[in-house]
């Protein structure tokens, strides 16, 4: 991996003070960058609810699509699973999980980078929470989970309407959200409601890259 690529990723993840920061998109980007930088096959992000139970909120791909797969590692599919805590001092807010089809331990430098990515994500999320003091961790999680449900439903709507794959449907929504300055979850809600406001999205033939 190049130092430039690593630096670019950290800058991307650290930029959480932009207007209308999209937490769901942020966590999906984190999962995807883990795959890009760490040489793993998939990644999942879990956040802890008010009882400390980890809930799946974002993945790098549909290969990891359920909380059970992330929690157990999907023994029939993955040969190796690594978990990196997302915490600040004694407060654990979540976990970053990495999945590989090849067995063996992660190289030490890769494990160090993985924990660094988890740390940056933790600091970013807690920074957002501090800025928005009226929203606690539990409320952030409820919002993230509700957004994930809406996004999964919207994927199905778009795959049927546009006759495209699930991954393309998700990329299409993400690109449209970025181009219009809207939250990904808001776009999903509009898709599910068949809102005329997102007619431009359904006219796009192919999703553009997220980069």
Domain count across the chain: 2
The pTM of the full predicted model, rounded to 2 decimals, is 0.71
- Nearby residues of 159 by Cβ (< 8 Å), 6 or more positions away: 165, 166, 169
Half-sphere exposure of 63 (CA within 13 A, CB side): 17
Q: Whose structure tokens read 């994930």?
A: 148
Indicate the helix (H) or strand (E) that contains 41.
none
Give the domain-ending residue among 101, 133, 165. 133
d(CA 202, CA 205): 8
Q: Which two tokens stand for residue 82?
A: 């690594």
Whether 29 and 82 map to the same domain: the answer is yes
Q: How far apart are CA 19 and CA 7, in angstroms?
A: 22
Query: Which CATH number characterizes residue 156's domain?
Result: 1.10.10
- pLDDT by residue, tens only, the chain of 211 residues: 678 888 888 877 766 556 567 878 888 989 999 999 999 999 999 988 777 788 888 999 876 655 455 555 555 678 999 999 998 777 788 999 999 999 999 999 999 999 999 998 888 887 766 655 555 555 666 777 778 889 989 999 999 988 898 989 999 998 898 888 888 989 999 999 988 887 777 665 444 444 4
Please give the full DSSP string across 75-117, using - where no structure is assigned: TTT-SEEEEEEEEETTEEEEEEEEEESS-SPPPHHHHHHHHHH
Residue ranges making up the domain that contains 110: 3-133
Residue 155 sits in the same domain as residue 124: no
What's the token pair of residue 39? 């040489």
Examine residue 211 and state whether it is found in any structural domain, yes or no. Answer: no
- What is the CATH classification number for the domain harbouring 119? 3.30.450.40
Structural domain ending residue among the three candidates 133, 159, 193:
133
DSSP helix/strand/coil, 46: strand
Same domain for 127 and 149, yes or no, is no
What's residue 38's pLDDT? 94
Question: Are the CB atoms for 71 and 78 separated by under 8 Å?
Answer: no
> Any idea how long the chain is?
211
CA neighbor of 120 nearest in space, from 35, 3, 7 = 7
User: Would you say 162 and 128 are in contact if contact means Cβ atoms under 8 Å apart?
Assistant: no
* Other CB atoms within 10 Å distance of the CB of residue 128: 16
């Amino acid at each position: 991996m190049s130092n430039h690529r690593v630096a670019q990723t950290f800058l991307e993840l650290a930029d959480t003070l932009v207007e209308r920061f999209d937490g769901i998109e942020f966590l999906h980007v984190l999962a995807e960058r883990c795959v890009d930088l760490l040489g793993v096959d998939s990644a999942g992000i879990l956040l802890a609810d008010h009882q400390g139970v980890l809930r799946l909120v974002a993945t790098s791909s549909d290969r990891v699509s359920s909380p059970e797969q992330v929690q157990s590692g999907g023994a029939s599919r993955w040969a190796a699973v690594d978990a990196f805590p997302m915490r600040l001092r004694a407060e654990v807010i979540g976990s970053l999980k990495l999945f590989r089809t090849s067995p063996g331990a992660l190289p030490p430098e890769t494990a160090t980078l993985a924990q660094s990515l988890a740390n940056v994500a933790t600091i970013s999320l807690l920074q957002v929470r501090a800025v928005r003091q009226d929203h606690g961790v539990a409320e952030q999680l409820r919002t993230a989970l509700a957004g994930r449900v809406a996004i999964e439903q919207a994927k199905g709507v778009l795959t049927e309407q546009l006759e495209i794959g699930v991954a393309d449907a998700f990329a299409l929504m993400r690109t449209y959200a970025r181009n219009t300055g809207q939250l990904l979850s808001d776009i999903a809600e509009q898709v599910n409601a068949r809102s005329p406001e997102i007619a431009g999205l359904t006219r796009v033939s192919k999703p553009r890259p997220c980069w």
